[in-house]
Amino acid sequence: MPEDLTQKVVWITGAAGGLGSALTSEFAALGWRVAATTHRPCVDISESESIWSFVMPVEDREQVLAGAARIIQRWGAIDVLVNNAGVTADGLLARTNEIDWDTVLSVNLRGAFLCAQAVLKTMMARRSGHILNISSHAAKTGAPGQSNYAAAKSGLVGLTQSLAREVGQFNIQVNAIFPGVLPTAMTRNLPSSVLDAFTRDNVLERLNDPVEVARFIAFVAGMKNISGQVLQLDSRISRWT
């Protein structure tokens, strides 16, 4: 069973998206104090006594460090970091410009690096902490038109496993999640043929649900003995090559 989570502090990046909103609600419902950071100021996140939201571009080192310091100053610690911030800029590699390439790598991968680095000092001092990186099945199989996204999400897997080896001695856990294809803003404009293909790839012949994914992530966040793992949450079956 997971340990007592009451009044623990979780920092969720990309909290304005579909999965981010579900994560914020789930952790708050379990009694966590939730720092929900968003990338853009135009998005509203409902706040309660346990939810504190603010804008913080994850690819800006100074803002990330300042954001982590604000959370620690307010609540004393960051027990769990969920690196959920992500963007896409799809297109065939032959036509992908450097701006789209850099943006996707910066938000999805550099952002996770900066946020992880920002929380490690306090986690190492307390000899406790958990970092959860939201990766993607695209890291495992690739996806046409998503070379930048697949590269970033593959990088997250490498980051997860390397960092887990580095910080295990400090009792810090690091894991990656493949949440599956979710009905969020990121997939809203995909052609129905693409969504149908994703559905057929799942042996249960259905896509995943943000609420269920959030429930699983919150449960894993409270477990003590899992680290360096890639946890896939849909029903697609494929081998690493």
**Model confidence at 117: pLDDT above 50:** yes
**What SS3 string covers 135-158?**
CCCHHHHCCCCCHHHHHHHHHHHH
Return d(Cα 133, Cα 175) in angstroms, integer.
6
Residue 207 — left, alpha, or beta (φ > 0 → left; ψ -120 to 50 → alpha)?
A: beta
pLDDT of 173: 98
**Model confidence at 201: pLDDT above 60:** yes
pLDDT of 241: 54
Q: How would DSSP label each residue in 110-127?
A: IHHHHHHHHHHHHHHHHT
CB 143 within 8 A of CB 150: yes
What pTM was computed for the model? 0.91
Is there a catalytic annotation at residue 132?
A: no
Angle made by CA atoms 130, 131, 135, in degrees to the nearest 5 = 145
Return d(Cα 39, Cα 86) in angstroms, integer.
9
**Model confidence at 35: pLDDT above 90:** yes
* Given 149, 179, 218, 221, the catalytic residue: 149
Instruction: Using the structure block, give the residue that is written with the tokens 């992880």.
Output: 116
Kindly state the tokens that stand for 54. Answer: 């603010």
Task: Determine the angle formed by the axes of helices 98-105 and 147-167, rounding to 10 degrees.
Answer: 30
Return d(Cα 211, Cα 154) in angstroms, integer.
24
**Model confidence at 222: pLDDT above 80:** yes
